[in-house]
Amino acid sequence: MVLSVRDLAVTRGGLAILEGVSFDLSPGEALVLRGPNGVGKTTLLRSVAGLQPPETGTVTGAEDQIAYAAHSDGLKAMLSVTENLKFWASVFGLSDIEPALVAFDLTDLRNRMAGTLSAGQKRRLGLARLMVTGRPIWILDEPTVSLDVTSVALFADAVRMHLKGGGSALMATHIDLGLTEARVLDLTPFKAAPRTRQMDEAFL
């Protein structure tokens, strides 16, 4: 399933920050969105994931295909690793969490409470959550923040495995991801010219 984004404009707090963004993401491909902090990477990802309606432009091929992982990876500290994964698996209608545990080397942390994990382990659990959803398109917001070098390598391997399996990944980051073969799209040229907020047009 090809995810294609045509002439997307997104707003934050009503202010237009990105416009005219277009790209395609075909299976087996990874795309990294680069750009300085605040350029609108997160907002763009949220619009593509359908959490936030874009101001203009279309996102096609995203229906029920997307697994979204934000900064805060939505893990419950009071639940164990398996319970967290089992929950997200059943929410997406699946139940097999073993491959994810293996892929992210979490097998020995199986029964540890998510709250007691280190930042790197938590991030790996967050990514394992993505795998468990069985959704082909991964949307990752700053996936390698607070990860040490080995974890970044582990992350890169997991993404490559996902790509080999026919999945695709859309990532936003301003630090190295360890994914040399990924295509890079710099968002700075798409910065929206300052113009009135859509909701304010009627008043100006």
Binding site for other proteins (CB under 8 A): 13-15, 46, 49-53, 64, 66-76, 78-79, 83, 86-88, 90-93, 133, 194-197, 199-200, 202-204
CB proximity list for 131: less than 8 A, separation 6 or greater: 99, 100, 103, 104, 158, 162
Partners of 168 in the β-ladder: 137
CB proximity list for 185: less than 8 A, separation 6 or greater: 23, 31, 32, 33, 34
Least distance to other proteins, CB of residue 97, Å: 12
Least distance to other proteins, CB of residue 63, Å: 10
Is the CB of 174 or the CB of 195 nearer to other proteins?
195
Question: Strands 3-12 and 56-60: what pairing?
Answer: antiparallel
Is the CB of 4 or the CB of 80 nearer to other proteins?
80
At 201, phi and psi to the nearest 5? -55, -40
User: CA-CA distance, 112 to 153, in Å (whole number)?
Assistant: 23
Tokens of 26: 């075909």
Least distance to other proteins, CB of residue 194, Å: 4
CB proximity list for 102: less than 8 A, separation 6 or greater: none
Least distance to other proteins, CB of residue 68, Å: 5
Is the CB of 90 or the CB of 150 nearer to other proteins?
90
Is the CB of 21 or the CB of 75 nearer to other proteins?
75
Is the CB of 34 or the CB of 191 nearer to other proteins?
191
Helix (H), strand (E), coil (C) string for 161-174: HHHHCCCEEEEECC
Least distance to other proteins, CB of residue 66, Å: 6
